[in-house]
Chain A
Amino acid sequence: MAQLSLGAQPRKKSGNKADQNNLGYLYLIPAFIVLLVISFYPLFYQLLISFTDFQTKDLRLGLASPALNFIGLENYVKILTGGLPVQDFDFLRVLVFDLWWAVSNVILHVPAGVLIAVLLNTQGLWFKKIYRAIYILPVVFPPLVVATVWRNIFDSQYGAMNQALTAIGSIFGAAPVTLRWLEEYQAPISFLLPGVPLVWAYYAMLIANFWLGWPFMCVVATGALQSIPKEMYEAASIDGATGTQQFFNITVPLLRPAMLPAAMYGFTTTFNLFGLVFFMTGGGPARATEILVTFAYDLVKNQRLYGAAAAFSVIIFIVSTVIFLITNRVTRATESYEGA
């Protein structure tokens, strides 16, 4: 997601100000008419619906439906207190899991991306270009394809993961691995996130999304690495700095301005990563891997609780805005680093 930079452009004195004013609006009109009809009005309509008990019976007449009741904040209260007539529903658990899901992914992707970028940036490494070409492949696959392939890989009976683990295990004489990655209810490490069970499916998703996520960070890091002048390393090594020292004192600080926005972008994307979750686990087992957006989708697609779904979307919107404001502030705070 792009950075929010609202600072007005410094204007040149040329041209008539009033004339420019009007033209600015003129250029905006087409897009804003479209947005008004298909984005802003629906968002307003959503807010309206979120205060009603809109259900399938009201589909035909909409707001004019005589069966439609305005129920105030009831939908919101029900969502926050887990009162929705939906199995295994616990908003707070889903929210905490979603946040944890995003954090745990970014924590893994960024260092891996940076380290691999550094590896590929090594002077004199053979086949660099081939590796670079291979490493970008995960980025270009549609999530639908990636997730379905990984779901297949984690199948308990025929999945490649269990087959590979069995093959490795057989060297040490271990029994065949028949882990039910995507169906097992028990959390392998129960104390990791109190109150929120991290089932095997979470780890399966983590592995799949690691495969999917680090190459992007690697590309960003590579671009930033190549802008670091080689003289800095040469000077450092003349002064007797070891490779590790150079990494932590030159590479890491100089990569930070590029990696932080990328990490924040990754966080926001992962937080709302519909495709991977929906196609890999469908939120299961027992909604243990459900994130906010997949839950909202279930509410409208399967449960058909349109009023509750609208309220849920409004909540998602608020959560997303808060997350954005925080991540934007974090990125901003480190921006001055570059100028300092």
Chain B
Amino acid sequence: MATANPIKRILSVNTSGEKGGRALPLGRQLVLQIISLFIAITVMFPIMYIITLAFSSNPSRPSTLQLIPTELSTEAFAKVLDRPTANPVTFVELLRNSLVLSLGVGAVSLLFAVSAAYAFARFKFAGRQFLMLAVFFVILMPGVGLATPLFLLFNGISIIDPESGQVIFNLRNSLLGVGIAMIAGALPFAIWNLKGYLDTIPKELEEAARIDGASHNRTFFQIVLPLAAPALAVTFFLSFMGNWQEFTLSWLFLNKPSDYTLAMTLYNMTGQYAQNVQWNQFSAMAIIVALPVAVVYIALQKQIVGGLTLGGVKG
């Protein structure tokens, strides 16, 4: 699959015939290279655009098209990493909110999902199909669909200071509330995803352990969980990625700027409330938000795509 030494390939082009049929004729190679390069340019176009803006010291939008940075100013990054918006919130606080939500929701939904997924993958019991359908129907509901009832229900849960009569804590207007609402969407997906993986793990090891006298719980903790570790990692990351980018619920629920997440801030920097968009700062922020997930996604690419299409391919 990997190309051998390109020079050798060019040299081997003319020794055609049946045996050398694997080598690509030079003319065709060039045509395909031009097409591939063109596609690469279209892919890189928006990315280069944002990188160029991010490293520019000029906050206004460029009036000419620039796709290669002419300067490497870190001014925008420095500003964004300090205090991204006019709100009195530092980058570190926003990062903390994003991390707390992403890691917390990912961890909690994984914790609850894994045993449920195991039950669906390995046990046969009355009502199994009905319960699986119940989980699946929550997945079918788009995230926005659960927003209204959760907003209304959580809005009714407050702690009121008995002396002043002021609301000290409102579940709707808190990171905790957003986190719980996000779990409502993340947990069914995690159950479904993990069940798909567990189905592919051969049962023989568990059966051997059972024959050797291990209890179901012991088999689960000592055989299944270690075997499922890669699946757990991918499921956690998928959840993390979704939570890291989560916008709809947090934007609907949260009012206090000190609770804002990075994704909300990014929207804030260019959305309806931004009078003068600082384009270099927005671009720098976009890169900062995108980079962590991008790196991990590329690292886990095979497992993620495999997992998403698993059900379909194996039928």
A interface list, Cβ under 8 A from B = 1-6, 8-9, 11-12, 14-15, 20-21, 23-28, 30-32, 34-35, 38-43, 45-46, 49, 54, 59-60, 62, 116, 119-120, 122-129, 131, 133-146, 148-150, 152-153, 155, 158, 160, 163-164, 167, 211, 215-216, 219-220, 223, 226, 237, 257-258, 260-262, 264-265, 272, 274-275, 278-279, 293-294, 296-297, 300-301, 306, 309-310, 313, 316-317, 320-321, 324, 331, 335, 338
Contact = CB atoms under 8 A, between A and B. Distances in A.
B155 A59 contact: yes
Contacts, number: 316
A265 B144 CA distance: 18
B312 A331 contact: yes
A20 B152 contact: no
A19 B59 CA distance: 67
Interface stretch (B69-77, B80-88, B226-234, B302-310): B302-310
Give the top 4 A-B pairs by smallest Cβ distance, nearest first. Answer: A261-B312, A24-B123, A3-B311, A31-B116
B29 A131 contact: no
Contacts of A124: 3, 9, 22-24, 29
B141 interface: yes
A9 B123 CA distance: 8
Interface in B12-64: 21-24, 29, 32-33, 35-36, 39-40, 42-47, 49-50, 61-64
A205 to B, nearest CB: 14
A24 B125 contact: yes
A39 B142 contact: no
Interface of B: 1-3, 6, 9, 21-24, 29, 32-33, 35-36, 39-40, 42-47, 49-50, 61-65, 112-113, 115-116, 118-126, 128-129, 131-153, 155-156, 180-181, 183-184, 187-188, 191-193, 196, 199, 203, 207, 210-211, 216, 220, 244-245, 247-248, 251-252, 263, 266-267, 270, 279, 282, 286, 289-290, 293-294, 297-298, 301, 305-306, 308-313, 315
A148 B266 contact: yes
A15 B122 CA distance: 12
Contact of B141 (A14, A43, A125, A297): A43
A86 B263 CA distance: 28
Given A3-B312, A122-B32, A163-B65, A300 B151 contact: yes
A274 B144 contact: yes
Contact of A296 (B144, B203, B297): B144
Nearest to A307: B148
A34 B112 contact: yes
Judged by DSSP, the binding face of A is helix
Contact of A137 (B47, B137, B143): B47
Contact of B148 (A167, A215, A309, A338): A309
Given A30-B116, A116-B39, A46 B142 contact: no
Nearest to A164: B65
Contact of A223 (B42, B118, B290, B306): B306
A125 B282 CA distance: 38
B124 A125 contact: no
A9 B147 contact: no
B62 A320 contact: no
